[in-house]
Amino acid sequence: MAKAIADAEYVKEIEKARRDLRTLISSRNCAPLMLRLAWHDAGTYDVKTRTGGPNGSIRNARELNHAANKGLETAVLFCEDVKAKHPKVSYADLYQLAGVVAVEITGGPTIDFVPGRKDSLESPAEGRLPDAKQGESKDLLKLPTDKALVEDPMFRKYVELYAKDEDAFFKDYATSHKKLSELGFSLKNHRSILAKGVIGFGIALTAVILGYLHELNKRTN
């Protein structure tokens, strides 16, 4: 399990990288792509084996070529511009920070970000994430979780709540996003996130926020 690598100087570099990510994502208009990169690097965590998770391994060609990661090579390439300016920042932190910034600059909630993730070159086996081709049609990509949001009573109640109460959505999403970004990651004074069910709930909330970003984009363009 990853241990903290953050100190005062590292935290300063994180804040500089945050500013550069803000500029990059705004100029490239790639917030949804960066959010997906962060989720796919973190979402491979397996609670039983304690492998995968937000460790930067998605940059490896083997993992990047997984069917679920189709299209993410662009996000990885964009992040290289920021990495070149801040080489001390780990890829693991950079990708998760990119997801946090992507949410914030599109009008989403502020997400608490704790740096210190270590990089890994060990990629998990394929199959831990939804396939990007699932539910694909000519004009739209629909995942099974999209259907579950409106058909599963457990999730539908949240959809209805969030449609009426943006503050509730922001609060719950920020909490869930933070948990996803810290799967298998430990710090002094921070407990590891190992609870079962976090991934499934996180997938659903990720689908919700992508829909939110889409609606926000329609309202502002």
Query: Which of these, 8, 118, 141, lies nearest to 71 by C-alpha position?
Result: 141
Q: What tens digit of pLDDT does each residue of 89-105 get?
A: 999 999 999 999 999 99
Q: Where are the domains of the chain?
A: 8-220
Q: What tens digit of pLDDT does each residue of 12-65 get?
A: 999 999 999 999 999 999 999 999 999 999 999 999 999 999 999 999 999 999
C-alpha distance from residue 138 to each of 133, 135, 142, 147 (Å) = 11, 10, 11, 18
Distant-in-sequence, close-in-space partners of 103: CB < 8 Å, separation ≥ 6:
31, 35, 109, 111, 173, 177, 209
Note if 66 is an active site residue. no
What CATH class is the domain 8-220? Answer: mainly alpha
Question: Could you say which of 40, 66, 86, 177 is catalytic?
Answer: 40
